[in-house]
Chain A
Amino acid sequence: MSNHHANTKTVEEMLALVKQDLKTGVGRSVKHESADKQVCGEATYVDDRLEFPNQLHAYARMSEKAHARIKKIDLSPCYEIPGVAIAITAEDVPGQLDIGAVLPGDPLLADGIVQYIGQPVIAVGASSLETARKAAMAAVIEYEDLDPILSVEEALEKESYISEPHTHQRGDSAAALEKATHRLQGAVHIGGQEHFYLETQISSVIPTEDGGMIVFCSSQNPTEAQKLVAEVLGVPFNKVVVDMRRMGGGFGGKESQFAMPACIAAVIAHHTGRPTKMRLPRMEDMVMTGKRHPFYNQYDIGYDERGVIQGTEMKLAGNCGYSPDLSNSIVDRAMFHSDNSYYLGDATVTGYRCKTHTASNTAYRGFGGPQGLIMPEIFLDEIARNLGEDPLEIRKRNFYGKEDRNYTHYYQKVEDNIIHEMIADLEESSEYQKRRVEIAEYNRKSPILKKGLALTPVKFGISFTATFLNQAGALIHIYTDGSIHLNHGGTEMGQGLNTKVAQIVAEEFQVDIDNIQITATNTDKVPNTSPTAASSGTDLNGKAAQNAAITIRQRLIDFAVSHFQVTPEDVSFKNNHVLIRDKVMPFAEFIELAYFHQISLSSTGFYRTPKIYYDRDNARGRPFYYYAYGAACSEVIIDTLTGEYKILRADILHDVGASLNPAIDIGQIEGAFVQGAGWLTTEELVWNDQGRLMTSGPAGYKIPAVADMPIDFRVRLVENRKNPEDTVFNSKAVGEPPFMLGISVFCAIKDAIASVADYKVSPKVDAPATPERVLWAVEAMKAHKAAADATTSTEQTV
C-alpha cells in the first residue's frame, strides 16, 4: 500500500467539514454522470466502439409482403458480391429460432411465412454495412400472397387475437347504465407512436473461446439479451456476457426490440467466428421494430345531472401487430389506467389484444397506460359540453374520494390520494379561471385564431404488473484508496438512473459522487435482472444499491466498534469523513484501515418490492405499490383556416415524492410532457393499404422540434410530500407518469375547436390531432354552429 491519499487536513478542518452537508447526495441537482463526456462526443455508444480488422456488419432483408408464404429463397446471388462472409435464413439458427419476449411468436428470421412488411427474412454478414445490404437485396425471395388483416376493427370483427380478451369488473355496469339520467356512447382511435430514440437499435458481438459471445447491446434488458443470444445459439446462459454502458434513448423501444439485431449478429458471429455488428439504419429501424400500440376504444357512460359517472363500459382494443411480444401486459396496463384519477361507478373494462399483420407493437413509455388513461379525459369533456359546464369542474366531481369511492375497478384501494390538493394548487397557480375568461373574450374577438385551455390530471400505478419482475440487484466494491465501484442491474438510457443510484450510494457512505465510478451494466456483475422499464429503475436498483451500501457500512461500523472500542452510535459517516466518538478521519483512510483489518469491502445488494400481488384470473389485487400523480394545464392556439396550432403555455405540477434529484426529475417531466404532446399532435403513423409504413423516416414522421415546446413552460414538483411507502429515500418513480400530462394539450386543442360552436358540442377528434384532423373538426363545428343558428333563426321567425 502506498501513502497516496495521505491526509493533509488538520483535525479542526475535518471537524468543520463534517458539520457541512454532502454536496452531491440525495436531493441535490447533481449533473448527469455522463454530461461532461456527452457534450464533448466522448461518451461511447455501441457504434462508437473500435472495430476489429475482421469485423463483419449485418443487414437483414425485410419482407415486402404483409402476409405471405415464402415459396423460395435463393441466397447464391448474395455470394457474388465481394466482401460477403455469410448469408443466413431461419434454418441457420443453431438453437431456438423464436425470440419472443414472454410468449413465442417472433421468429428471428421468417420461418416459411411472413407476417408484416419489414419482417427480417434473411441476413447477410459482410465487410461493410453497405455491402451486406447490397448482398441481402441480391437474394431471390419469392412469395405467395395470403390475406392480411391490417386494421384493428377488422381484427376485432374477425376475432383475430394474439390472446384472449380480459375483463375488469366492479359492480353491475349494465344496470348502472340503464338507470343513469344521462348516457353517452362513442369510439375513438388513439394513434401509436414511433420511439424515435436518436440511437437506432444496435448490437455488436464478439465470439469467445468457450463458444459463447460477448455482446455489446443497446438494450433496456441485458439479461433478456443474454438469455436470447444463448437460446438462439443453443448454449447455456453462462456462455454469454452482455455489456451495456448507455443507450442513446430507449423509451421502451429497447425493452424487447433490441433482440433481433443482437441475435442475428450472434448467429452470424457464431458461424463465421468473426466479430459482428448489426446497426439498423433509421428507415429499417422504423419499419422493422414495433411501436406504441394504436388503440381503438369504445365507451358507454352513464352519468347524473351533476356529471358524476354512475356506470362505465369500455372496450379497449390494442393493435398488437403480428405477435404477442409484451402486448398482454400492455393491454392490461391500458385497462388498469382507463380510470385515470376518477371513480368510474359500476364499471366493466375489457381489453382486446388484436392481431394484425403489422410490426409487433411493444413497450413505449406508459406501456399502454396512456391509451387507457386518455379515455376519461375524452368522455368527461363530452359530459361537460353536454351539461354546459367547465370540463375542470366535471373532472373534480369525479375524482376518487379520500374516504369513499376510493377503490379502482380492479379493487386496489387508492391510498394517499393527493390529486384534489394538486389540482387546486395548479388551478390557482396557473390562473385557470382568470385565463378561462380571457380566452373566451379572445375567442369572441378573433374570427380566425382560437385559443383553448385544459387542465388534466394523471394518476399512474407504479410496479411491474408481472409481480416477479419487481426485483433488482447491485454490486459495490470499495477499493483501498476509498474509491467506490458501483454497478447495478438497471440501464442508463438518459433518464439519469446512474446518477440517482450514485447519489444514493454517496448518501449512504457520505462521500462525494466523484468518488463513485458507475460502470456498464453487465450480466456477469449483476445477474438475472429485470428490464429497466415501468418507471421502476430507481425504485428497484436504487434500493438494491442502497442495500449493498448498507451491508458494507454495517461491516465498517462493526469494525470500528471493535477496533476503537466504541458503541455503534459513536460511529457516523459525514461529508467524506468518518466520526468515531471524538475521533475523525477521512473516509479513504478509514477504508484502508478496515482493509488492513481484513474487512470485506465488497457486497451485493438485493431488493424486492413489498405488498404487491395480483390475481389475474379474478382481476383483483394490488398490482401497484403506489401511485404517482401529476397535473398539467395547457393553453393552445389553433388556426381555423388551416388547423395549425401552437402550445402557448403549459403549467405542470408533478409528484415525485421526495425528489432524489430535482434537476433530473424536472428534465424527465418536461421531456415526457413534450413527448406526450407529440404523440397526440404531430406524430402520425401512416400505413398504406398494403400494410407498408409510409412515415418511415423523420422526413415524414414528425416528433416535436424545438419550437414545439410550450412558449411559456412552467414546471414544479410537489413539495414536502414524501412517498408514504418505504421507497428509496421516499422518492417516487418519474419516467412514465408525466408522459400523460401531454393529454392536456389534446384536450386544450379540442377546447379551442369547441369554441367554434360556442362550447355546446364536444368535437370528435381521433389522436393524433394533426392539423388536418383539427381542421376537419373545426369544419364539423362550423356546421353545428350553422345548423344551430338556423334553428334559432327559424324559431325566431316562427
Chain B
Amino acid sequence: MIKFLLNQELREEHSLDPNMTVLNYLREQVAKTGTKEGCASGDCGACTVVLGELDGDSIRYKSINACLTFVSALDGKQLITVEDLKHQGKLHKSQQAMVDKHGSQCGFCTPGIVMSLFALGKNNASPDKDEVLEALAGNLCRCTGYRPILDAAFAMYEDTADDQFTLREAATVERLKKLQSEQISELQHGNHQCHNPRTSDELAALLLQHPDARLLAGGTDLALEVTQFHRELDRLIYVGDIKEMAQAEVFEDRIELGAAAPLSKCYSALSKDYPDFGNLLHRFASLQIRNQGTLGGNIGNASPIGDAPPALIALNAQIVLRKGDQRRAMPLEQFFVDYKVTLLEESEFIEKVVVPRAPAADQFRAYKISKRLDDDISAVLGALNISVENDVVTDACIAFGGMAAIPKRASHCEKVLIGSAWNQATINKAMEALEQDFAPISDFRASREYRMLTARNLLQRYFIESQIVEVETRVTAYV
C-alpha cells in the first residue's frame, strides 16, 4: 500500500499497478485530465506536475514529468496538479500571469508550463533570466515562441500574496508527517510488484532475496521501457525513499554523492568546486528530469551517451558498490566494460559516488555538444582535467561520452599531453592522438566525422580557455 496526498485528499492505494505512471493514474484512475500526455518520454513537459516533499518542517516542491514517474514514488508525498492551483474561484498567480501575458495558444502545453512556473515560484523568490530559462527548458511549446511565457514567469512575481499552499503549509506538513513510515511499503498488482525500502540495509537484503528485481530511482530512463518499449517490469525496488542514499555531502577532501540523490541535489554539491560540472548539469536533460533522475541511475544504465560519467571519470571519481554487507570501491572508469555492460554483479547496487575535492587551480572543463543547446542528448561530451605546472603538463584525465560504446578515457591523448610543454604544438599532437583513442559511430545525432572533429576541437577550446581568458569560446555564455 502507498499513501499520499492528492493535493489535499488523502489517498490510500492498495493495488495500483507498479508499472503505472503518475500520468496514467491521474488521467485514467482519478479522472484528472488537466495533465496532458505530449510524448510519454519526458521530453516535452506537457505532463509536468509538482511533488511536495517533506523537508524537516517545510515542504520542498519539485516539478517532475508525470509520464516517467511510477506511482510508487508518490508514497508519503503531496501530488499537486494544474487543477489544484485555482483557489476559491481565483486563478493562481502563475495562471493569471499566463493569461495576462497571452502565454497560451493551443493550450496543450499550458498545464505543464503553469506547473513549472508554480514550482519556480515556490523555489525562487526572485529568479534571474537564467533561472527562469532553467525552470522552463523542459517544457516545449510549439505555438508561442516562448516570449510571452517568459514574460509571465516574471510577471507572476508582481503578486506577492501568499497562495493557499503557503497558507496551509504547516497543516500539510503535519499531514505528510503522519504519512511517513519507517516500514517498507509495497504495491502489488498481478505479478507486478514494487518494494519501497527505507534503508540501504533493507535494499541490500531485498536485492539478495530478489536478484531479478530492477532498481527504480528517478525512473527517467527505466520508465521508458514501459511507456516506449512496452515491456513489463515484474519486480521493482524503489530507492527514492532511502534517505541515506539520497544525500549529497561535502567533506574536506571529497564530495560524496548518494546513488539516489537527484541530480538537482548533486548540482549544489558539485558546482562550487567544479563550476563547469554545474554548467553541464544545467544542460543535463531538463529540470523535471534532474529533480527525479539520479547520479546512480545515470551511471547504472551504462549508456554511452550519459552526461555524468565522462565528467566524473575525468574527476577521478570512485564508485562504491554494495552487495549484502560487502562493499567494494573502484575508479568509475573501470566500472564500464562494454556497451551497457558493467562490473555490477547480481544483487549488487551502486551505493555512492565519491568525487575528490578540487585542487586550487580551476582546471576542469566539461563540454556538451548537442543539436539543441538545452534538453538534448549529447552528440559528444568532453570532460577534460589537465594539470599544468611551469608550462608543463603534469597530469591529464580526459574522458569522452558519445565517442565509444562506453564513457571512455582518451588514454593516448593523455599520454601525449603528460610531460609535454603546454603549447599549441602539444595540443595538435594530442588532437591527433584522439584518432587512436576513438572510432565513433554515425547516427541521427551526428556523423562519426563530426564527432571526431568536435572531440579534437574541444581540446583546442580547452587550450584557448586556459591561455587567453578574453577570447570567447562558448555560445552558451549568451543568455
Give the residues in chain A near B373, CB-CB below 8 Å.
644, 646, 705, 707-708
**Alpha-carbon distance between A645 and B477 when the two chains are bound, in angstroms:** 11
Smallest CB separation, B297 vs chain A (Å): 16
Smallest CB separation, B383 vs chain A (Å): 15
Residue from the list B41, B85, B108, B150 in contact with A198, Cβ < 8 A: B108
Smallest CB separation, B200 vs chain A (Å): 32
Binds A, one of B205-213, B262-270, B466-474: B466-474
Give the residues in chain B near A267, CB-CB below 8 Å.
none
Give the residues in chain A near B175, CB-CB below 8 Å.
none
**Alpha-carbon distance between A639 and B471 when the two chains are bound, in angstroms:** 12
Given known pairs A448-B471, A682-B371, A699-B377, the reply for A39 and B41 (CB within 8 Å) is no
Give the residues in chain A near B71, CB-CB below 8 Å.
none
Smallest CB separation, B240 vs chain A (Å): 23
Residue from the list A50, A198, A776 in contact with B38, Cβ < 8 A: A198
Residue from the list B95, B143, B444, B458 in contact with A671, Cβ < 8 A: B143
Smallest CB separation, B135 vs chain A (Å): 9
- Asked if A31 and B38 sit within 8 Å, CB to CB, the answer is no
Interface: A506 (CB within 8 A): no
Interface: A40 (CB within 8 A): yes
- Asked if A674 and B474 sit within 8 Å, CB to CB, the answer is no
Give the residues in chain A near B133, CB-CB below 8 Å.
706-707
- Interface residues in B, total, Cβ within 8 A: 86
Q: Mind listing 13 A-B residue pairs with CB under 8 Å?
A: A32-B105, A39-B99, A197-B106, A200-B38, A246-B107, A248-B106, A642-B461, A671-B145, A675-B145, A684-B371, A703-B140, A707-B373, A708-B374
**Alpha-carbon distance between A664 and B148 when the two chains are bound, in angstroms:** 11
Residue from the list A638, A663, A708 in contact with B102, Cβ < 8 A: A663
- Asked if A772 and B447 sit within 8 Å, CB to CB, the answer is yes
**Alpha-carbon distance between A35 and B95 when the two chains are bound, in angstroms:** 9
**Alpha-carbon distance between A195 and B140 when the two chains are bound, in angstroms:** 13
**Alpha-carbon distance between A324 and B8 when the two chains are bound, in angstroms:** 54
Looking across the interface, which residue of chain B has its beta carbon closest to that of A672? Answer: B145
- Asked if A641 and B230 sit within 8 Å, CB to CB, the answer is no
Interface: A405 (CB within 8 A): no
Interface: A533 (CB within 8 A): no
Give the residues in chain A near B370, CB-CB below 8 Å.
771
Interface: A166 (CB within 8 A): no
Binds B, one of A294-302, A578-586, A690-698: A690-698
Interface: B376 (CB within 8 A): yes
Residue from the list B43, B457, B478 in contact with A637, Cβ < 8 A: B478
- Asked if A448 and B472 sit within 8 Å, CB to CB, the answer is yes
- Asked if B461 and A641 sit within 8 Å, CB to CB, the answer is yes
Give the residues in chain A near B279, CB-CB below 8 Å.
none
CB within 8 Å of A: which B88-116 residues: 91, 94-96, 98-100, 102, 104-111, 114
Interface: B454 (CB within 8 A): yes
Looking across the interface, which residue of chain B has its beta carbon closest to that of A714? Answer: B147
Interface: B236 (CB within 8 A): no
Residue from the list A637, A673, A684, A697 in contact with B39, Cβ < 8 A: A697
Chain B at the A interface: mostly helix, strand, loop or mixed?
Answer: loop
- Asked if A686 and B83 sit within 8 Å, CB to CB, the answer is no
Looking across the interface, which residue of chain A has its beta carbon closest to that of B227? Answer: A281
Binds A, one of B29-37, B251-259, B421-429: B29-37
* Chain A interface size range: 35 or more
CB within 8 Å of B: which A515-554 residues: none
Give the residues in chain A near B182, CB-CB below 8 Å.
none
Among B373, B374, B458, max chain A CB count under 10 A is at B373
0/1 interface trace, chain B 15-39, chain A, CB 8 Å (1 if under):
0000000000001000111111111
- Asked if A40 and B371 sit within 8 Å, CB to CB, the answer is no
**Alpha-carbon distance between A502 and B208 when the two chains are bound, in angstroms:** 66
Given known pairs A41-B111, A775-B453, the reply for A698 and B44 (CB within 8 Å) is yes
Interface: B136 (CB within 8 A): yes
Interface: B479 (CB within 8 A): yes
Given known pairs A637-B478, A708-B372, A709-B147, the reply for A41 and B142 (CB within 8 Å) is no
**Alpha-carbon distance between A43 and B99 when the two chains are bound, in angstroms:** 13
**Alpha-carbon distance between A416 and B205 when the two chains are bound, in angstroms:** 80
Interface: B82 (CB within 8 A): yes
Given known pairs A40-B85, A133-B230, the reply for A644 and B369 (CB within 8 Å) is yes
Interface: B137 (CB within 8 A): yes
Among B32, B107, B478, max chain A CB count under 10 A is at B107
Interface: B40 (CB within 8 A): yes
- Asked if A697 and B41 sit within 8 Å, CB to CB, the answer is yes
**Alpha-carbon distance between A699 and B40 when the two chains are bound, in angstroms:** 11
Give the residues in chain B near A449, CB-CB below 8 Å.
472-475
0/1 interface trace, chain A 679-692, chain B, CB 8 Å (1 if under):
00010101000000
- Asked if B461 and A41 sit within 8 Å, CB to CB, the answer is no
- Asked if B140 and A711 sit within 8 Å, CB to CB, the answer is no
Interface: B446 (CB within 8 A): yes
**Alpha-carbon distance between A413 and B51 when the two chains are bound, in angstroms:** 60
- Asked if A496 and B144 sit within 8 Å, CB to CB, the answer is no
Residue from the list B32, B142, B457, B478 in contact with A675, Cβ < 8 A: B142
**Alpha-carbon distance between A32 and B447 when the two chains are bound, in angstroms:** 44
0/1 interface trace, chain A 710-747, chain B, CB 8 Å (1 if under):
01010100000000000000000000000000000000
Interface: B192 (CB within 8 A): no
Looking across the interface, which residue of chain A has its beta carbon closest to that of B81? Answer: A41
Smallest CB separation, A544 vs chain B (Å): 23
Given known pairs A40-B34, A639-B474, the reply for A707 and B374 (CB within 8 Å) is yes
- Asked if A38 and B40 sit within 8 Å, CB to CB, the answer is no
Smallest CB separation, B394 vs chain A (Å): 26
- Asked if A642 and B371 sit within 8 Å, CB to CB, the answer is no
Residue from the list A50, A197, A200, A246 in contact with B142, Cβ < 8 A: A197
Given known pairs A35-B102, A198-B38, A646-B475, the reply for A705 and B374 (CB within 8 Å) is yes
Give the residues in chain A near B367, CB-CB below 8 Å.
642
Interface: B450 (CB within 8 A): yes
Given contacts A246-B106, A250-B106, 17 further A-B contacts (CB under 8 A): A31-B102, A38-B110, A41-B111, A44-B33, A50-B31, A199-B36, A248-B106, A448-B472, A638-B475, A641-B457, A642-B458, A643-B454, A663-B102, A674-B146, A698-B43, A702-B372, A706-B136
Smallest CB separation, A385 vs chain B (Å): 24
- Asked if A641 and B473 sit within 8 Å, CB to CB, the answer is yes
Residue from the list A37, A199, A673, A772 in contact with B106, Cβ < 8 A: A199
- Asked if A705 and B375 sit within 8 Å, CB to CB, the answer is yes
Give the residues in chain B near A698, CB-CB below 8 Å.
38-39, 41, 43-44, 140
Smallest CB separation, A642 vs chain B (Å): 5
Smallest CB separation, A128 vs chain B (Å): 9
- Asked if A637 and B46 sit within 8 Å, CB to CB, the answer is no
- Asked if B372 and A682 sit within 8 Å, CB to CB, the answer is yes
- Asked if B376 and A702 sit within 8 Å, CB to CB, the answer is yes
Given known pairs A42-B34, A198-B46, the reply for A709 and B472 (CB within 8 Å) is no
Residue from the list A40, A249, A711 in contact with B91, Cβ < 8 A: A40
Smallest CB separation, B158 vs chain A (Å): 16
Give the residues in chain B near A645, CB-CB below 8 Å.
475
Looking across the interface, which residue of chain A has its beta carbon closest to that of B130? Answer: A707
Residue from the list B35, B228, B446 in contact with A41, Cβ < 8 A: B35
